[in-house]
Structure 1
Amino acid sequence: MKITSIIIALSFISACRGLNMTRLRPYDLTAELMFIFEDIDQNGIMTVFEFETVFDRYDSNVDGRVTRSVYTTYICKSDPVQYELSHYLFDEYDVDGDHFLDYHDYDNFYNKMDTSADGLVVKTEFVNYWVLLFQKYENSDIHPMSTLCR
């Protein structure tokens, strides 16, 4: 009985320390659903305009910049399943490390997904990128900046 209690306690402690990525699995399906949601005209191609439209959702005060707090609060309200990951995503997007997301950060992120370098992101490029990104963080601890999603 004591061993069972210890195993359960250790499992709980380790679950609390790391990101819970199980809700995002299978990663390819999650990424496909994200693509469908973000592909505004549903033509199977994500353009820079569509990508920047997603950015505009986060830019609540319309100043062309998004702080970590604004971004993670938006994710908490709109997609709580990805909230634990949101601080890591902010770090991925913030390419110049100035602690703001600007259009140039999002353009750089878009270009990372555009593996064919043709100026367009098709579903397979989008899905492949996100699967790799999800896998990158699946064994990570909770981000030091993370708090409870409220």
Structure 2
Amino acid sequence: MKLLVILVLWMTEVYCVSDFTQMATELFTTTDLNGDLEVSRTEIESSFTKYDENGDGRVSRVEFMDFVDRYTPDLHDLGRELYIDYDSNQDHHIDLADFEAYFNKLDTSGDGRVTKDEFVNYWSKLMAATAHLHPVG
């Protein structure tokens, strides 16, 4: 019986990790605007423009959370955590310095490129770590 419980727990974990990988891959596809299987600094910056309601080139916490609450209200708690992660210098705005820091987090090889594998690996781990804040699948 103990072995069965362990097997079920392992299968559940594998299924969730698979879901996170699939979700991260979908996110990569929407971020890789030119389809070259890499995410550039420009593509990362572009992915944040939808949050910048007043067009000042910076995303405030209010702007970010307004967008999250308007389009995906069930992800409010996750949005809060993501904003903290994105705002690397903790100045309460996401701007070019934060885009650069985010790019460097994703670029684990340090070669100045964010590959699909690097992106998916980062986001899969982040989704697993924040699974209690969002639905899976």
TM-score range, shorter chain: 0.7 to 0.9
Aligned with 1:60 (options 42, 53, 62)? 53
Contact kept in structure 2, 1:24 and 1:30, CA below 8 Å: no
Shift of 1:128: 0.4
2:56 maps to amino acid? D
Contact kept in structure 2, 1:24 and 1:81, CA below 8 Å: no
Q: Distance in 2 between matches of 1:79 and 1:112?
A: 25
Aligned with 2:97 (options 104, 115, 127)? 104
Match of 1:89 in 2: 82
My pick for the range that moved more, 72-81 or 130-139, is 72-81
Aligned residue for 2:33, secondary structure, equals coil
Query: Structure 1 stretches of 5 or more lacking a match?
Result: 1-22, 141-150
1:138 maps to amino acid? A
Shift of 1:79: 4.1
Match of 1:45 in 2: 38
Q: Distance in 2 between matches of 1:80 and 1:42?
A: 29
Shift of 1:59: 1.3
Q: Distance in 1 between matches of 2:55 and 2:75?
A: 23
Identity of aligned residues (%): 33
Alpha carbons of structure 1 residues 127 and 139: separation in structure 2 relative to 1, 3 Å: same
Is residue 36 of structure 2 the alignment partner of residue 36 of structure 1? no
Match of 1:131 in 2: 124
Contact kept in structure 1, 2:38 and 2:113, CA below 8 Å: yes
Shift of 1:139: 4.0
Query: Structure 2 stretches of 5 or more lacking a match?
Result: 1-15
Aligned with 1:69 (options 41, 62, 65)? 62
TM-score, length-scaled by structure 2 = 0.77
Cα shift readout 1:4-39 (whole Å, capped 9, x = no counterpart)? xxxxxxxxxxxxxxxxxxx99711100000010111
Cα shift readout 1:55-98 (whole Å, capped 9, x = no counterpart)? 22211212121111111221233444543300000000111111
Pairwise CA RMSD of aligned residues? 2.3
Q: Distance in 2 between matches of 1:39 and 1:123?
A: 9
Q: Distance in 1 between matches of 2:98 and 2:24?
A: 20
